[in-house]
Each structure stands twice: as C-alpha cells, then as structure tokens.
Chains A and B, each alone.
Chain A
Amino acid sequence: MKIPYYPGCTLHERALDFDKASRECANVLGVELEELPVWTCCGAVFPLTTDSVMEILAAVRNLAYASRMGDKVVTLCSFCYNVLKRTNKVMREDGERREKVNLFLRADTETRDKIESFLKEDYVGQVDVLHYIEMLRDVVGFDKMAKHVKTRLEGLRVAPYYGCMLLRPHGEMKFDEHPEQPTIFEDFLTALGCDVVDFPMKTECCGGFQIVRDEETAIACSQTVVASAVKRDADLIITTCPLCLYNLDRKQKEMEKRVSGFRKIPVIYFTQLLGIALGIDDEHLDFSDNYVDPRPALAEKNLV
C-alpha cells in the first residue's frame, strides 16, 4: 500500500533518524511512504490571526501536491501535522481565504511549471491529513502491527509524551477522543508489550519554539515534563516531534546543571521504539543524535 508522505524540513535535516526509522517501520508493516516529489516547509506554526493568507500558502501548496497523489497525506512531526491539518480546515471551510489562496496559487508560475496538472482544479481541502500514529491505528491497525512485533518490549516502562500540537485545538485536531486524557499512544505501547507509564505532564507544553528565544522559560517547561516521567519510574519517554525531543532530551544537559540530583531519562521517537519491537536493523535506528543514550536502558531489558 502506498501513502503520500510529507516529511517536512526538520525530518530532512536535523531529524533524519526519525525519518529513517519511520520509513523502515512502515515498510515492515507493508506501507510505502511515498514522499511528495516536491514540497516546501509548511511554515512550522499555524498563524492564529484570521486574516493570514500568505502565512498558510506554503502549507496549502504541500497539500495541493499531495492531492495529486492520493486522498491522504501522512506526516510525522507534530508541528507539520498541526499546520497541515488546520490549514486544510481553512481551505475546506473559510471560503474567503480559500479564494484568496487559490488566486495566489493560480498566479504562481513557478508552481505551475513544476506541477502543471494540479492547477486544473483549485485546492479546496481534498486530502485528509493523517498523523503516522493515526495511520498505524486506522490504516494498519494496532492489532496487525502487533503481529509484526519480533521482540515484545515486556517490562519496558515507557512514558508517552503528547505535547501540545497533536491535541490542540481539540475541536480541529480531533486527534484523540479525550483531549485531556488521550490514549492513542497508550494503546500503541500496549500493542508493543510495554508497561505504559501514565504521567500527568504528558499533555503539557515542552516550551516549544520558546527554546530559541528564552531558554530558561522553555527549560522550566521541559524539566517539569521530564521530572514527572522520571518520578514515575519510566525507562524512557517517547515523542513524535523533533522540537519536543530537542527540548526534552538535548536540554537535559542544561537541566543537569541547574538541578541538583537531576536524573536523566532517554527520549526517543515513537517509531524508533516501534523499530526495536519490529526487529529493524541497528543501522536504521540511529541514536547518535540523542543527548541521553537510550541504549543502556534498552540493553537492561535485553532489547539491544
């Protein structure tokens, strides 16, 4: 089965490990992630001002490319997912902005050259934006996924971190039935055999992009999250977002400096964990970029 895939810039630059692991897992599960032939940065943040047109143009272009390839587009990064999904809603429901955006698209000669044919019709929200985990649940099925598991991750205590962008705004994202107590990653982890660690900070913010402006503030946020998982004896945290990973993992270096007796905890992408369970080769599961090396924790449970 082929599904159009929008990686987003971070997965092509700093989060190659995420991209690689996710593609490999998909392959094992019989899904081919078919990367859009052309795509651009989605803009990273969805503009919350009602008059924004230029700010969503990039995201619409990507959606329009995807609409040529199928009726879905899968993405991995929480930020991309949020931007694409919310932009899609604008294109479906906000007639005025839709018209303006399509005007731009029609005038956009560069785009026209690249993808002559899609311009035959306006983009009006034809594709459904899917997160990879939704694809696992709804397209593959967690039970089918579980059948591919080579190594059940018994005894591994995993804390699933959702963060903000997958869940909010709930009315638009509809990512999980219970915005305050989501369970999709819990179900995913259970299917892999893990011990799920429920921790109250799983839907709290990691500090987001504030990390590049006001490190102190953002670290305070991410430390709250990390400490909460550590307190509940998690072996590791999983996430879906390169920025969350950066804040929660890389910034543990700073946390160590600031907090006495700070206990580190590895943070990895959920598809890396899935890769381990599916028995994917080490060469595809690269943890060299992680500040806190997950391998010791995994080794302890004989998983690497």
Chain B
Amino acid sequence: MEHRIGVFVCHCGSNIAGVVDVKRVAEQLADYPGVAYSTDYLYMCSDPGQNMVKDAIKKHSLTGVVVSACSPTLHEATFRRAGAASDLNQYRVEMANIREHCSWVHRGDKEKATEKAIKIIKTMIEKVKQNEALEPISVPMTHRALVVGGGIAGIQAALDIANAGHDVVLVEKSPSVGGHMAQLSETFPTLDCSQCILTPKMVEVSQHPRIRLLTYCEIDDVSGYVGNFKVRIRKKAAYVNRDVCNGCGLCVEKCPRTVASEFEEGLATRKAIYTPFAQAVPNKPVLDRDNCTYFESGKCGICQKICPVNAVDYEQKDEFIEEEVGAIVVATGFDLYPVVNIGEYGGGSIEDVVTSLQFERLLSASGPTGGEVRRPSDGKIPKEVVFLTCVGSRDPENHVSYCSKVCCMYLTKHAMLYKHNVHDGQAYVFYMDVRTGGKGYEEFYQRATEEDDVLYLRGKVSKLFEEDGKVMVWGVDTLTGRKVEIAADLVVLGLAMVPNSTAVELSKKLKIQVSEWGFYSEAHPKLRPVESLAPGFYLAGAAQGPKDIPDAVAQASASASKVCALFSEKEYHREPIVAWIDEDECSGCKVCISVCPYDAIEFDSEKGISRIQEAICEGCGACIAACPSATIQQRNLTDSQLYKMVSAALED
C-alpha cells in the first residue's frame, strides 16, 4: 500500500511555537518518505484546526494522520473523531507529543527542541504507516448478573441491580441469606437493631421478581468472559424438597438430634434438620446429614414421617444449575481469624474467653441468653469484662499484618452494650490505638468513656489463663508504665477479620486475583475500588477487605452501578489494541498462557497451538515479550512498528 500520511504541526499558541520552530518542522517532514501532506496551524484542536484535518484527509487522500501537538491523553480522542468524520479509520490517527515531552521541557534550547520534535513526529509517522484499520471489539452480552454471597453486601448489590431492571442470580452457600449481619445484636454507631434493618432486605431479595435466589448453593465452575459467562452452580442436597416444604417447622421440633449451632457460634444447639435462625430466608429447613441418625444408622426417620407435605427426601442428590450471566459480583464476606492460633489467649480452650461474634450472640435479644449477658462457663452475669482489640490483627510477626478496621468500633459497642446490660459491671478495653474513622464514630467512642465509664487501657495483653473461676489477664498500661493484672469474669477477643475460608478457592474458579491475605484485589486502590482487574468482575463488602456495614453497602451499590453501566450497552466494546498469535509460527509451548495475567489465552489442543481471546486480552504485551517463537504481536504496536520507531528516533 502506498503511504499518504498527513502531518499537522500545532503551535498551541506560543506553547509549542515559542520553542519549537514549527514551520521548519512542517517543511522538513514534508520530504519524509510516505508523507503526502505537511502543515502547521495555531490551534489544531480548535474547530478550524479539526476541519483542516478533515479536509486534508479528503483532499490529499490521506491514509494516516499524525497530529503533532499535545499529549495523546488530552486530544487523541478528539482527532480520532475528526479522522472518522472523514472516513479515515480512527486507529490510523496518532498524536506526536511535542508539547509535554518537548517544547515545555526544553525551553532553554530551541534548536535541540526542534530537532527532537522532528524525531518524535518521525516515530509516529512510522507507527501510523503500519497501523491497521481497526474497529473496537464488540462482544455480545447477557444482561443478567450473578452475585456470589448473600450477606448484606450481596443482598444490596442484588437489589440495586434488580431494581435497575436487570435479572440477578444470587448464590449463597449457607441455608439462609443474611451473612454475619444477621448475627449482630445492635450496630454502631447508631445502635439500631441489626435484624430490624436487615430482615426486610432479606425478604425483599427473596421476593423480587428479577432475583433468582439460590441458597445452599455453591459456584462449581465459571467459564467465558465479560458479557458471556457460563456458570455452573451446585445445589447442595438439603434432603428437603424446599419447593414443597411449607416451613411448618414440625420436623425441626421433633428431631431428636442436637448439635452446636453455627449461627449461635457454638453457644447454643440446633437440630440435625434445621433452619439456622428464626428469621432465616428462605425459612425452610435443611438436613445436616453428617449429624443425622438416619444417615448414620438408617434408624429414626422421624422428620420424614412427621412432615405433612412429604417434603423430606433422604434420596436427594446434589444438583447442578447452569446460568448465563454477563457480570459477576463477588461478595463472599469474611470470617474471624481462628482463635486456636492464639495459644497465649488459651487458643479457644478457656470457656469464658469468647470471640466477638459469640459476644454479639450473648448481647442479642434473640440469642441463647435472651439478650442478658451471661458467661458460658456457669451462666453467671459477669461483673468484670475485658475486651481485647487487635487480636491477630496488626501482628505481622505471628498473625496478620493489617488493621481489621471494624473491631475498635464493635468492641466499643460491646463495652457500651454490656454496660447498658449490667450497670454495676466494669468494662475494660485494652487497645493500641482506638481507630474511629467514620461519621459519628469518634463521638460514639467518647460516649463510651464519658457516659458508660468504659476504661480504656493502652497496652497489648500478653497472656490469658484460668485461675479460680476467673480469667486472669496479664496486660500493661503503657501510659503509666505499669504491668496490669485483672481477674476477669469474661474476656472478649476482637479477632481479626479474614476472608471467608472459601475465598481463595473461589478466586481460582473465577480467575480473579486475591491479595496477600486472601482478600479480593481491586483494580486500583483509589480509582477503581469495586472492580476486579479481570473485566466483568466486581467486588463488594468484606470480601475485598475489612469493612463495616456502611462501607459494605456503599461498595455494593457502587459495584451494582458498575454492572448497570456495563449493561447500559447492548454489546460490550473494548479497545482493539490486543495481542494476536500467528498460528503458523506458534510452537504450542504455552509459555504465553503462563504469563497472561488475564487468562486470555486458550490452548487449542487439536491444532497444538495457543490462541488469544480478543474479548479478554487487555493488551499488556507480557505474552509478546515472553513468546520464544516471537510469534505474538500486538495490534498497532507490533515489533516491526517498534523497530521502525526506534530507528526513526535515532536517525540523524
């Protein structure tokens, strides 16, 4: 093809022309091989400037345009549009940055600046010569979203997306939605009842016509890419036909087997056939076969006999559900750091040392003590209660390095609620720093010290042990420089928040990144905090990092709006600056597959070659540099282009 490139040198008033001899540049480049037209103008981005480009394309049958002006970040889009208006493919328009990278930074030496401007423009002429005419890649899209995890974050995301008019599949692994928020008593900083604000949302999510709620289900497999995911969901056998069950609860009532209740954090029991808690949604039981007499010995079968609608089915098997979705929101939440890892605090062996979630249950009106704070060992009302912050958190040497963000606040809440419960009790909080970043949070903390006489002790506790029916606390008050010993009736551990135990495994199925500690990685910590790096995946709630409810909900709504933005187009469009493999040259070594951060390359085992999926490739170039056969190229930034550009820049 004959090259007919147009070069347009901008003065930018005196911004460029004051340093670079623009006339000389334009003249000199007119003679450069492949250049059909070269000119200069005062303000290229002005309407007359743009029109100049449009006209020249037509008049001189230009095959490419180099606007030599400011940084492409500023006006690349402007001039690409101008090119397109004259039927020149937008990807055949490039900018040479002779302002930010030249005139503005070399004001002292006009001659050298002019020479450098010429070199810069030459590199772009060489690039444009080989630029392909491309179209943005468009991918068909399924306008349905998958939300994984039915805690407050997942619920909020599902409702927001569904209310915007898109279908949602909400997958929750436990028998009910609600997540940890369902376990909480009252919530800081306003002390409203957690159940009261959560339950309506749980019900809404189960009744929304656009939401398909799949509880007691797990993600089995995910394939495809943004806009076109195929998801296989495992519906775990509940041994109750939950479509038939009317939730009468007779089976639960009559079941003779009891086991420790997960929802009550082991402080109470549940039956082998059970709903996790009274307000569960859906309020239909599942049967826990690991603890059921029938599954152990073939005896019992009471639940089946008593069920008035014959819903109990011991023969039920896991089922698989296939769904097609265009976007996936991950909201799998958190777990508490395992207390067994903290030997110096008894590692879970001291009865009256409880976790923070256990204490929530002791405070909860629907909890095992009916909301009266009673300690587990003997049911007595504890008079001396010690709360420990940063248990496992901020301990890079032995546990996790990060701050769990919410524990300062919830322990303050705990101390406060305890005092509201036991007026003559004494609450102590051992802390390193009290972190109260949030609206109304600091005031909440101040109230705890002012009004509720909570005593804050600055120091980290070294050891807890049992002695004479008390829990001995060996701490320190670094403010007075004294060792402190307290004989406590109850100790509450503000354990670190860690990602849900399934997070890492799930991340492998979804092929999205997790950070060092297993929280899902966001694309950018400040500017893209709710997107995963992999297109089509969005993050919400504590799955992305320790978070309280307001933050979890905000992030859920943000990821929902990202999903809606994606769904606002019929098709999914992306920059075509992707990599491609020359099938004839590929040796099938799979090196590229191992380096691609987006899993964009698939292996065609029939042909024994690798193939890049354009819809997924982000154009990073890692595979290109890694391919031992040098057979991968990037569209409009091929090796050949790079070599020519280098040569042009070095030409005298």
A and B from one complex: yes
Residues of A bordering B, CB below 8 Å: 178-181, 200-201, 228, 231
Contacts of B466 in A (CB 8 A): 200
By the criterion CB–CB under 8 Å, are A178 and B343 in contact? yes
Contacts of A178 in B (CB 8 A): 343, 347
Partner of B343, one of A179, A201, A228: A179
Sample (18) of A-B pairs whose CB atoms are under 8 Å apart: A178-B343, A178-B347, A179-B343, A180-B342, A180-B343, A180-B344, A180-B347, A181-B343, A181-B347, A181-B349, A200-B463, A200-B465, A200-B466, A200-B467, A200-B472, A201-B465, A228-B467, A231-B467
Contacts of A201 in B (CB 8 A): 465
The size of the chain B interface, using a CB distance under 8 A, is 10
Interface string of B62-93 (1 = CB under 8 A from A): 00000000000000000000000000000000
**A16→B343 CA distance, assembly (Å):** 35
Contacts of B344 in A (CB 8 A): 180
Contacts of A181 in B (CB 8 A): 343, 347, 349
**A263→B431 CA distance, assembly (Å):** 38
Task: For the complex of A and B, list the 10 residue pairs with the smallest distance between their C-beta atoms, beginning with the closest.
Answer: A180-B343, A200-B465, A181-B343, A180-B344, A178-B343, A181-B347, A200-B466, A179-B343, A180-B347, A200-B467
Q: B322: shortest Cβ distance to chain A, in Å?
A: 45
Contacts of B349 in A (CB 8 A): 181
**A277→B49 CA distance, assembly (Å):** 101
Interface string of B328-360 (1 = CB under 8 A from A): 000000000000001110010100000000000
**A203→B465 CA distance, assembly (Å):** 12
Q: B602: shortest Cβ distance to chain A, in Å?
A: 43
**A180→B346 CA distance, assembly (Å):** 9
Q: A250: shortest Cβ distance to chain B, in Å?
A: 26
User: Which B residue sits closest to A170, measured CB to CB?
Assistant: B398
Q: B466: shortest Cβ distance to chain A, in Å?
A: 7
**A237→B206 CA distance, assembly (Å):** 61
**A256→B489 CA distance, assembly (Å):** 31
Known: A178-B343, A179-B343. 11 other contacts (CB 8 A): A178-B347, A180-B342, A180-B343, A180-B347, A181-B343, A181-B347, A181-B349, A200-B463, A200-B467, A201-B465, A228-B467
Contacts of B343 in A (CB 8 A): 178-181
User: Which A residue sits closest to B343, measured CB to CB?
Assistant: A180
Q: B165: shortest Cβ distance to chain A, in Å?
A: 55
Q: B278: shortest Cβ distance to chain A, in Å?
A: 37
**A231→B343 CA distance, assembly (Å):** 21
**A231→B472 CA distance, assembly (Å):** 14
Contacts of B465 in A (CB 8 A): 200-201
**A179→B347 CA distance, assembly (Å):** 12
**A24→B648 CA distance, assembly (Å):** 87
User: Which A residue sits closest to B463, measured CB to CB?
Assistant: A200
**A231→B466 CA distance, assembly (Å):** 11
Contacts of A228 in B (CB 8 A): 467
Contacts of A179 in B (CB 8 A): 343
Q: A14: shortest Cβ distance to chain B, in Å?
A: 32
